Copies of this chain bind each other. A is one copy, B any other.
Amino acid sequence: MGRKRIEPGKVRLTEVAALAGVSPITVSRFFRNPATVSAGRRTRIESAAKELGYVPNLAARALASQRTEVIGVLIPSLTNNVFSDVLRGIYDAFEGSRYSIQLANTRYSVLQEERLLRLFLMQKPAGLIVTGLDQTAESRSIIQAADCPVVQIMELGADPIDMMIGFSHVDACFAAISHLLAQGCRRIGFIGARMDPRVQRRLQGYQNAMKEAGLFDPRLIVTAPVPTSTTMGGSLFSDLLMKAPDLDAVFCANDDLALGVLFECQRRHIAVPEQVAIVGFNDMEFMAAAVPTLTSVRTNRYEMGRRAATMIMDAVEGRPVAERVVDLGFEVIERQSSTLQRAAASPQPASGRASGTKW
Protein backbone atom coordinates (compact mmCIF):
# COMPACT_ATOMS: atom_id res chain seq x y z
CA MET A 1 0.00 0.00 0.00
CA GLY A 2 1.00 3.62 -0.04
CA ARG A 3 2.93 4.65 -3.07
CA LYS A 4 6.16 3.84 -4.76
CA ARG A 5 9.28 5.26 -3.22
CA ILE A 6 10.90 8.32 -4.57
CA GLU A 7 12.72 7.85 -7.83
CA PRO A 8 16.45 8.48 -7.62
CA GLY A 9 17.20 11.09 -10.33
CA LYS A 10 14.73 13.60 -8.97
CA VAL A 11 16.01 16.96 -7.73
CA ARG A 12 13.98 18.50 -4.95
CA LEU A 13 14.55 21.26 -2.50
CA THR A 14 15.83 18.56 -0.15
CA GLU A 15 18.57 17.47 -2.53
CA VAL A 16 19.75 21.04 -2.96
CA ALA A 17 19.67 21.53 0.81
CA ALA A 18 21.73 18.40 1.39
CA LEU A 19 24.38 19.46 -1.10
CA ALA A 20 24.52 22.99 0.31
CA GLY A 21 24.60 21.72 3.89
CA VAL A 22 21.53 23.62 5.02
CA SER A 23 17.94 22.73 5.82
CA PRO A 24 15.31 22.50 3.08
CA ILE A 25 13.37 25.40 4.50
CA THR A 26 16.37 27.66 4.08
CA VAL A 27 16.59 26.74 0.41
CA SER A 28 12.90 27.47 0.11
CA ARG A 29 13.46 30.88 1.63
CA PHE A 30 16.38 31.51 -0.67
CA PHE A 31 14.24 30.97 -3.75
CA ARG A 32 11.42 33.14 -2.54
CA ASN A 33 13.51 35.95 -1.14
CA PRO A 34 17.30 35.61 -1.19
CA ALA A 35 17.70 38.58 1.15
CA THR A 36 16.35 36.57 4.08
CA VAL A 37 19.28 34.17 3.91
CA SER A 38 22.78 35.02 5.08
CA ALA A 39 25.34 35.73 2.36
CA GLY A 40 27.39 32.62 3.04
CA ARG A 41 24.56 30.17 2.63
CA ARG A 42 23.23 32.18 -0.27
CA THR A 43 26.22 31.37 -2.45
CA ARG A 44 26.33 27.77 -1.27
CA ILE A 45 22.66 27.25 -2.12
CA GLU A 46 22.99 29.02 -5.44
CA SER A 47 25.84 26.84 -6.64
CA ALA A 48 24.23 23.67 -5.30
CA ALA A 49 21.02 24.46 -7.18
CA LYS A 50 22.89 25.17 -10.37
CA GLU A 51 24.96 22.03 -10.04
CA LEU A 52 21.90 19.83 -9.63
CA GLY A 53 19.82 21.70 -12.20
CA TYR A 54 17.09 22.31 -9.67
CA VAL A 55 13.72 23.48 -11.01
CA PRO A 56 11.11 24.52 -8.45
CA ASN A 57 7.81 22.67 -8.60
CA LEU A 58 5.07 25.25 -8.95
CA ALA A 59 2.28 22.85 -8.08
CA ALA A 60 3.86 21.98 -4.75
CA ARG A 61 4.49 25.62 -4.05
CA ALA A 62 0.90 26.53 -4.87
CA LEU A 63 -0.47 23.74 -2.73
CA ALA A 64 1.67 24.53 0.28
CA SER A 65 1.30 28.28 0.12
CA GLN A 66 -2.38 28.25 -0.81
CA ARG A 67 -1.83 30.81 -3.52
CA THR A 68 -0.62 31.08 -7.08
CA GLU A 69 0.93 33.69 -9.31
CA VAL A 70 -1.58 33.11 -12.07
CA ILE A 71 -3.49 36.02 -13.58
CA GLY A 72 -6.57 35.02 -15.54
CA VAL A 73 -7.35 37.10 -18.61
CA LEU A 74 -10.65 36.85 -20.45
CA ILE A 75 -11.06 38.44 -23.85
CA PRO A 76 -13.89 37.96 -26.32
CA SER A 77 -11.85 37.41 -29.47
CA LEU A 78 -8.42 36.44 -30.66
CA THR A 79 -9.10 37.60 -34.20
CA ASN A 80 -10.00 41.17 -33.44
CA ASN A 81 -6.79 43.20 -33.57
CA VAL A 82 -8.12 45.47 -30.90
CA PHE A 83 -7.47 42.74 -28.39
CA SER A 84 -4.05 41.86 -29.67
CA ASP A 85 -2.98 45.38 -28.75
CA VAL A 86 -4.52 45.07 -25.30
CA LEU A 87 -2.90 41.69 -24.82
CA ARG A 88 0.45 43.06 -25.84
CA GLY A 89 0.15 45.66 -23.13
CA ILE A 90 -0.80 43.02 -20.58
CA TYR A 91 2.01 40.65 -21.54
CA ASP A 92 4.54 43.47 -21.60
CA ALA A 93 3.56 44.61 -18.13
CA PHE A 94 3.81 41.11 -16.65
CA GLU A 95 7.09 40.47 -18.45
CA GLY A 96 9.79 39.65 -15.94
CA SER A 97 7.36 39.59 -13.04
CA ARG A 98 6.67 36.39 -11.18
CA TYR A 99 3.13 36.23 -12.56
CA SER A 100 2.03 34.06 -15.41
CA ILE A 101 -0.97 34.74 -17.57
CA GLN A 102 -3.81 32.40 -18.21
CA LEU A 103 -5.58 33.62 -21.32
CA ALA A 104 -9.01 32.47 -22.44
CA ASN A 105 -11.35 33.44 -25.22
CA THR A 106 -15.04 33.93 -24.51
CA ARG A 107 -16.01 34.32 -28.19
CA TYR A 108 -18.37 37.08 -27.19
CA SER A 109 -20.49 34.63 -25.24
CA VAL A 110 -21.44 35.31 -21.65
CA LEU A 111 -22.03 31.61 -21.07
CA GLN A 112 -18.54 30.77 -22.30
CA GLU A 113 -17.35 33.46 -19.95
CA GLU A 114 -19.07 31.75 -17.04
CA ARG A 115 -17.58 28.41 -17.96
CA LEU A 116 -14.08 29.87 -18.30
CA LEU A 117 -14.32 31.71 -15.00
CA ARG A 118 -15.26 28.45 -13.34
CA LEU A 119 -12.16 26.89 -14.85
CA PHE A 120 -10.02 29.78 -13.62
CA LEU A 121 -11.41 29.24 -10.14
CA MET A 122 -9.76 25.82 -9.91
CA GLN A 123 -6.41 27.49 -10.29
CA LYS A 124 -7.06 29.92 -7.47
CA PRO A 125 -5.83 32.86 -9.55
CA ALA A 126 -4.07 35.80 -7.93
CA GLY A 127 -5.98 38.23 -10.12
CA LEU A 128 -8.43 38.50 -12.98
CA ILE A 129 -8.74 40.77 -16.01
CA VAL A 130 -12.10 40.58 -17.73
CA THR A 131 -13.51 42.39 -20.73
CA GLY A 132 -16.45 44.72 -20.59
CA LEU A 133 -19.29 45.31 -18.18
CA ASP A 134 -21.80 42.71 -19.21
CA GLN A 135 -21.00 39.78 -16.97
CA THR A 136 -23.93 37.63 -15.91
CA ALA A 137 -24.96 37.51 -12.25
CA GLU A 138 -23.53 34.01 -12.13
CA SER A 139 -20.20 35.23 -13.53
CA ARG A 140 -20.10 37.95 -10.94
CA SER A 141 -20.64 35.47 -8.15
CA ILE A 142 -17.89 33.22 -9.48
CA ILE A 143 -15.60 36.22 -9.56
CA GLN A 144 -16.54 37.01 -5.98
CA ALA A 145 -15.68 33.44 -5.02
CA ALA A 146 -12.25 33.79 -6.62
CA ASP A 147 -11.64 36.41 -3.95
CA CYS A 148 -8.90 38.26 -5.81
CA PRO A 149 -8.35 41.65 -7.43
CA VAL A 150 -10.29 42.12 -10.66
CA VAL A 151 -9.96 44.69 -13.43
CA GLN A 152 -12.64 45.20 -16.02
CA ILE A 153 -11.18 46.57 -19.22
CA MET A 154 -12.38 48.20 -22.47
CA GLU A 155 -15.13 50.38 -21.14
CA LEU A 156 -16.46 52.30 -18.18
CA GLY A 157 -19.66 51.69 -16.31
CA ALA A 158 -21.51 52.51 -13.14
CA ASP A 159 -21.07 49.34 -11.14
CA PRO A 160 -17.47 48.09 -11.15
CA ILE A 161 -16.81 44.65 -9.73
CA ASP A 162 -13.52 45.92 -8.34
CA MET A 163 -11.29 48.03 -10.60
CA MET A 164 -11.93 49.30 -14.09
CA ILE A 165 -10.07 50.86 -16.99
CA GLY A 166 -11.39 51.96 -20.35
CA PHE A 167 -13.29 54.76 -21.95
CA SER A 168 -16.84 55.65 -22.88
CA HIS A 169 -17.78 54.17 -26.23
CA VAL A 170 -20.92 56.27 -26.24
CA ASP A 171 -18.95 59.47 -25.83
CA ALA A 172 -16.28 58.40 -28.31
CA CYS A 173 -18.79 57.78 -31.05
CA PHE A 174 -20.68 60.90 -30.14
CA ALA A 175 -17.46 62.85 -30.65
CA ALA A 176 -16.84 61.23 -34.02
CA ILE A 177 -20.33 62.08 -35.23
CA SER A 178 -20.01 65.60 -33.88
CA HIS A 179 -16.85 65.95 -35.93
CA LEU A 180 -18.73 64.90 -39.08
CA LEU A 181 -21.55 67.29 -38.24
CA ALA A 182 -19.02 70.06 -37.80
CA GLN A 183 -17.72 69.26 -41.26
CA GLY A 184 -21.18 69.97 -42.62
CA CYS A 185 -22.30 66.37 -43.08
CA ARG A 186 -26.02 65.83 -42.59
CA ARG A 187 -26.84 62.35 -43.88
CA ILE A 188 -24.42 60.34 -41.80
CA GLY A 189 -24.70 56.57 -41.99
CA PHE A 190 -23.70 54.02 -39.36
CA ILE A 191 -22.40 50.61 -40.25
CA GLY A 192 -21.51 47.97 -37.75
CA ALA A 193 -20.96 44.24 -37.62
CA ARG A 194 -20.92 41.63 -34.88
CA MET A 195 -22.65 44.19 -32.64
CA ASP A 196 -21.03 43.28 -29.35
CA PRO A 197 -21.90 45.41 -26.31
CA ARG A 198 -19.26 48.00 -27.11
CA VAL A 199 -20.43 48.40 -30.69
CA GLN A 200 -23.97 48.70 -29.36
CA ARG A 201 -22.84 51.56 -27.18
CA ARG A 202 -21.15 53.23 -30.13
CA LEU A 203 -24.44 52.97 -31.95
CA GLN A 204 -26.05 54.60 -28.93
CA GLY A 205 -23.55 57.46 -29.18
CA TYR A 206 -24.38 57.82 -32.86
CA GLN A 207 -28.10 57.96 -32.12
CA ASN A 208 -27.62 60.50 -29.37
CA ALA A 209 -25.62 62.78 -31.65
CA MET A 210 -27.96 62.46 -34.60
CA LYS A 211 -31.08 63.00 -32.50
CA GLU A 212 -29.54 65.98 -30.79
CA ALA A 213 -28.85 67.45 -34.23
CA GLY A 214 -32.36 66.62 -35.39
CA LEU A 215 -30.94 64.45 -38.16
CA PHE A 216 -31.75 60.96 -36.95
CA ASP A 217 -33.11 58.57 -39.56
CA PRO A 218 -33.23 54.80 -38.95
CA ARG A 219 -32.59 54.15 -42.64
CA LEU A 220 -29.05 55.43 -42.07
CA ILE A 221 -28.19 52.47 -39.86
CA VAL A 222 -27.00 49.18 -41.29
CA THR A 223 -25.73 46.41 -39.08
CA ALA A 224 -25.01 42.72 -39.36
CA PRO A 225 -24.55 40.10 -36.62
CA VAL A 226 -21.63 38.45 -38.44
CA PRO A 227 -17.96 39.07 -37.59
CA THR A 228 -16.45 42.22 -39.03
CA SER A 229 -14.19 42.16 -42.05
CA THR A 230 -13.05 44.43 -44.80
CA THR A 231 -15.28 42.64 -47.29
CA MET A 232 -18.22 43.05 -44.92
CA GLY A 233 -17.49 46.79 -44.81
CA GLY A 234 -17.96 46.94 -48.57
CA SER A 235 -21.19 45.02 -48.59
CA LEU A 236 -22.71 46.85 -45.63
CA PHE A 237 -21.85 50.11 -47.38
CA SER A 238 -23.59 48.87 -50.53
CA ASP A 239 -26.67 48.08 -48.46
CA LEU A 240 -26.50 51.49 -46.89
CA LEU A 241 -26.30 53.20 -50.28
CA MET A 242 -29.48 51.42 -51.33
CA LYS A 243 -31.33 52.49 -48.21
CA ALA A 244 -29.97 56.02 -48.24
CA PRO A 245 -28.65 57.09 -51.63
CA ASP A 246 -28.31 60.68 -50.46
CA LEU A 247 -25.66 59.69 -47.90
CA ASP A 248 -22.84 62.16 -47.35
CA ALA A 249 -20.81 60.37 -44.64
CA VAL A 250 -20.35 56.96 -42.98
CA PHE A 251 -19.27 56.15 -39.47
CA CYS A 252 -17.87 52.66 -39.30
CA ALA A 253 -17.92 50.83 -35.99
CA ASN A 254 -14.36 49.72 -36.63
CA ASP A 255 -11.47 50.32 -38.97
CA ASP A 256 -11.72 47.09 -40.96
CA LEU A 257 -15.18 48.11 -42.03
CA ALA A 258 -13.90 51.59 -42.88
CA LEU A 259 -11.22 50.12 -45.12
CA GLY A 260 -13.87 48.05 -46.87
CA VAL A 261 -15.97 51.16 -47.36
CA LEU A 262 -13.00 52.99 -48.85
CA PHE A 263 -12.38 50.16 -51.32
CA GLU A 264 -16.07 50.05 -52.23
CA CYS A 265 -15.96 53.78 -52.89
CA GLN A 266 -12.94 53.27 -55.13
CA ARG A 267 -14.80 50.51 -56.94
CA ARG A 268 -17.86 52.72 -57.47
CA HIS A 269 -15.82 55.84 -58.18
CA ILE A 270 -17.31 57.67 -55.24
CA ALA A 271 -15.02 60.52 -54.24
CA VAL A 272 -13.84 60.43 -50.62
CA PRO A 273 -14.42 62.73 -48.82
CA GLU A 274 -16.12 64.97 -51.41
CA GLN A 275 -19.10 62.72 -51.99
CA VAL A 276 -18.90 60.54 -48.93
CA ALA A 277 -16.79 61.14 -45.83
CA ILE A 278 -15.51 58.14 -43.90
CA VAL A 279 -14.73 57.77 -40.20
CA GLY A 280 -13.55 54.59 -38.55
CA PHE A 281 -12.97 53.48 -34.99
CA ASN A 282 -9.81 52.34 -33.16
CA ASP A 283 -7.22 54.07 -35.34
CA MET A 284 -5.42 51.00 -36.54
CA GLU A 285 -2.07 51.58 -38.13
CA PHE A 286 -3.25 51.32 -41.74
CA MET A 287 -5.71 54.19 -41.38
CA ALA A 288 -2.89 56.72 -41.69
CA ALA A 289 -1.48 54.95 -44.73
CA ALA A 290 -4.67 54.75 -46.79
CA VAL A 291 -5.42 56.99 -49.78
CA PRO A 292 -7.01 59.22 -48.73
CA THR A 293 -5.87 58.92 -45.14
CA LEU A 294 -8.76 57.76 -42.99
CA THR A 295 -10.17 59.56 -39.97
CA SER A 296 -10.60 57.38 -36.90
CA VAL A 297 -11.16 57.47 -33.17
CA ARG A 298 -7.92 56.63 -31.44
CA THR A 299 -8.10 54.52 -28.34
CA ASN A 300 -5.14 53.62 -26.23
CA ARG A 301 -5.44 49.87 -26.22
CA TYR A 302 -1.85 49.02 -25.41
CA GLU A 303 -1.87 51.41 -22.46
CA MET A 304 -5.16 49.94 -21.31
CA GLY A 305 -3.64 46.47 -21.12
CA ARG A 306 -0.47 47.71 -19.53
CA ARG A 307 -2.21 49.68 -16.83
CA ALA A 308 -4.74 46.96 -16.12
CA ALA A 309 -1.80 44.66 -15.46
CA THR A 310 -0.05 47.09 -13.14
CA MET A 311 -3.31 47.75 -11.29
CA ILE A 312 -3.67 44.01 -10.73
CA MET A 313 -0.09 43.68 -9.54
CA ASP A 314 -0.42 46.61 -7.17
CA ALA A 315 -3.60 45.17 -5.72
CA VAL A 316 -2.22 41.64 -5.41
CA GLU A 317 0.87 42.87 -3.66
CA GLY A 318 -1.13 44.97 -1.27
CA ARG A 319 -0.06 48.35 -2.58
CA PRO A 320 -2.82 50.91 -2.61
CA VAL A 321 -4.27 51.50 -6.06
CA ALA A 322 -4.75 55.23 -6.40
CA GLU A 323 -7.24 55.22 -9.25
CA ARG A 324 -9.51 52.24 -9.11
CA VAL A 325 -11.50 53.47 -12.10
CA VAL A 326 -9.39 54.88 -14.92
CA ASP A 327 -10.78 56.74 -17.90
CA LEU A 328 -8.24 56.56 -20.69
CA GLY A 329 -10.29 58.76 -22.98
CA PHE A 330 -10.07 58.79 -26.76
CA GLU A 331 -9.17 61.16 -29.53
CA VAL A 332 -10.77 61.81 -32.89
CA ILE A 333 -7.89 61.78 -35.37
CA GLU A 334 -9.07 63.91 -38.25
CA ARG A 335 -7.64 62.91 -41.59
CA GLN A 336 -8.41 63.48 -45.24
CA SER A 337 -11.37 61.13 -45.41
CA SER A 338 -13.52 63.47 -43.37
CA THR A 339 -11.98 66.89 -43.94
CA LEU A 340 -14.25 69.01 -46.04
CA GLN A 341 -14.05 72.58 -47.19
CA ARG A 342 -17.79 73.02 -47.14
CA ALA A 343 -17.74 73.24 -43.36
CA ALA A 344 -17.83 76.57 -41.55
CA ALA A 345 -16.62 75.16 -38.25
CA SER A 346 -12.91 75.26 -37.49
CA PRO A 347 -11.45 71.74 -37.22
CA GLN A 348 -10.37 71.66 -33.62
CA PRO A 349 -9.39 68.25 -32.34
CA ALA A 350 -12.04 66.54 -30.29
CA SER A 351 -10.90 64.34 -27.44
CA GLY A 352 -12.51 63.03 -24.35
CA ARG A 353 -11.90 62.14 -20.75
CA ALA A 354 -14.25 61.65 -17.87
CA SER A 355 -12.65 64.54 -16.05
CA GLY A 356 -13.20 67.89 -17.72
CA THR A 357 -15.47 68.42 -20.68
CA LYS A 358 -17.90 65.86 -21.93
CA TRP A 359 -15.54 64.97 -24.74
Contact = CB atoms under 8 A, between A and B. Distances in A.
B289 A231 contact: yes
Interface in A105-140: 105, 118-119, 121-124
B230 A289 contact: yes
A21 B234 CA distance: 64
Given A84-B78, A88-B78, A288 B231 contact: yes
Interface in A133-165: 145
Contacts of A59: 58-60, 62-63, 68, 123-124
A345 interface: no
A230 B78 contact: no
A92 B234 CA distance: 28
Given A63-B57, A122-B55, A81 B84 contact: yes
A87 interface: yes
Given A79-B85, A286-B230, A57 B124 contact: yes
Contact of A263 (B55, B88, B291): B291
B58 A60 contact: no
Interface centre among A53, A123, A286 (most CB of B within 10 A): A286
Contacts of A58: 59, 122-124
Contacts of A68: 59
Interface in A276-329: 285-286, 288-291
Interface residues of A, number: 48
B291 A266 contact: yes
A118 B58 CA distance: 12
A250 interface: no
A91 interface: yes
Contacts of A93: none
Contacts of A88: 78-79, 105
Interface string A55-72: 111111011000010000
B286 A256 contact: yes
Given A53-B145, A229-B286, 18 more contacts: A55-B121, A55-B122, A56-B122, A58-B59, A58-B123, A59-B62, A59-B123, A63-B63, A78-B88, A79-B88, A81-B81, A84-B84, A88-B105, A100-B123, A102-B102, A231-B286, A234-B289, A260-B289
